[in-house]
Amino acid sequence: MIMKTIFLFVRSLILTPDLLHTDYLKYLSQRYHVVVFNPFLDDERARKESYFSSPNVSYRIWNLKNRRVLAAFKFLRTACIRQLDFVSSVKIFYGSGAFLKDKRARLLRFLSSPLKKWMAMDFFTSLESFFIKIPPEFMNYCRVYKPSLIITATPGIQLFEAEAILLAKKLGIPTLATNFSWDNLMSFKAVRVRQPDFLFVWNDVMKKTAVDVHRFDPDKVFVTGIMRFDRYFNDQINLPTREEFLSAKGLNPKYKTILFATASRNFSYNLELIRDIIDWRASGRIPYSNLLIRLHPVDRYSVYGEFFRIPDVFVEPASREAVNYSPESKHKLFEMDNADFANLKATLAYTDLNINFKSTITLESLIFDKPVINYTDPTQPLLNQIYFNEHSYYHPIVKHGAVRISSNKDELANLINEYFSNPKLDHENRRKVVDMYLPFRDSKSYKRNVDMLEEII
């Protein structure tokens, strides 16, 4: 029997570990020949950097061939599409300084308003499919490998994946988005969705959004679980003891530990709150505790230098730096490896309280039944709506009482004391949300994801 071929397009270094550093690719290559397209990896580099190797896996460097066309349509989609105006993240974006300062985008949005009925995502996808050209290199790859399916991580949110989906549509090759995050369908970036033929989602919450908001055929949306979270349920990942883990970071095992997960780059309110927490523990306003500051993948380590030498405070990046991955990038790029994920699992297991701003690490903390406090930022009133608007991807977490929201610093200090006094507070609410968002907790989501391909190929 001839083995079928799958093209796997994945660019983001936040998403590549889920697909290329786990059992997903290993298991996928047992069923199919897989050609991985990525801007940085060829066979030689993949081997040197310990990516999965198999006779059934080939790595090919691929860069955008229709960059100008796709960049133009990214601008047009962002300015003209009204289909998702009811979504809180979209409203926040159009009220943000980034959009209001863009005179061209504001003018185009105004001029296109009378045509908003036609300014839909499918319309722009059709236009993109018409204007992009099929590169000779891509035609050659298709001739050589004859792919049965093209898989992307997200449904075209990034231009790299958008091009893959659009080229596949032009050539009649089925497409699947398999590993996007819970906010992708309900964020301002959702206007960039290019609807693939099939969608694999985390849970029924995301399936409902795909069907109701993005008009996917429900028979082509499959719930397969969260591959990224498989590691949390894998008993083969050995953890250090709590004492070993905390001591290795210069933290004192006799104290409880607050995990502060920072928001993205240049979010100055992070620094202000961290200073307050350190002052509170010194003054006795909250119990003296360790403070483990875990940076957002795009946050800058150097910004937190003032905390490096404070006793019982530890600052760490989310992952290792991906050396020389993108010489043209303005920022350092980071990619989590297996050691990083083991460290994160220990972090969630051995900290006592998580403080963050609407992060995915909320869900991860709930898996370990750890209390979560989300904070509002008085300097970002629009952004705070993400917690309370029913059309926000994050709202169900708040609605079901799995987290507490601090609207000011006094509330934050009080909530820290409340959770330290009663760690089981809101336990049942956390459990309900975990049941809702993680229907599978068997470490086999990667296997379900691959097995489900038989339904669509």
Q: Whole-model pTM?
A: 0.92
Measured over the CA atoms of residue 311, residue 313, residue 319 and residue 322, the dihedral's sign is negative
Count of helix runs (H) and strand runs (E) in the chain? 19, 15
Looking at residue 392, the DSSP 8-state letter turns out to be S
Classify the phi-psi angles of 250: left when phi > 0, otherwise alpha if psi is within -120 to 50, otherwise beta. left
Domains delineated in the chain: 5-66+125-226+442-455 (3.40.50.2000), 242-437 (3.40.50.2000)
> Is the distance from CB of 393 to CB of 183 less than 8 angstroms?
yes
CA separation for the pair 381, 39 (Å, rounded): 38
> Nearest to residue 451, comparing CAs of 227, 169, 181, 122?
227
Task: Kindly report the backbone phi and psi dihedral angles of residue 397, in degrees, each rounded to the nearest multiple of 5, phi listed first.
Answer: -65, -40
Per-residue confidence in pLDDT tens, the chain, 457 aa: 689 999 999 987 777 888 998 899 999 999 999 999 999 899 999 999 889 999 999 999 999 999 999 999 999 999 999 999 999 889 889 988 889 999 999 999 999 999 988 999 999 999 999 999 999 999 999 999 999 999 999 999 999 999 999 999 999 999 999 988 999 999 889 999 999 999 999 999 999 999 999 999 999 999 999 999 999 998 888 899 999 999 999 999 999 999 999 987 657 888 999 999 999 999 999 999 999 999 988 788 888 999 999 999 999 988 665 554 554 555 555 677 778 889 999 999 999 999 999 999 999 999 999 999 999 888 878 778 888 888 899 999 999 999 999 999 999 999 999 999 999 999 999 999 999 999 999 999 999 999 999 999 8
Beta-bridge mates of residue 274 = none
CA separation for the pair 373, 425 (Å, rounded): 12
CA separation for the pair 39, 33 (Å, rounded): 20
pLDDT of residue 160: 95
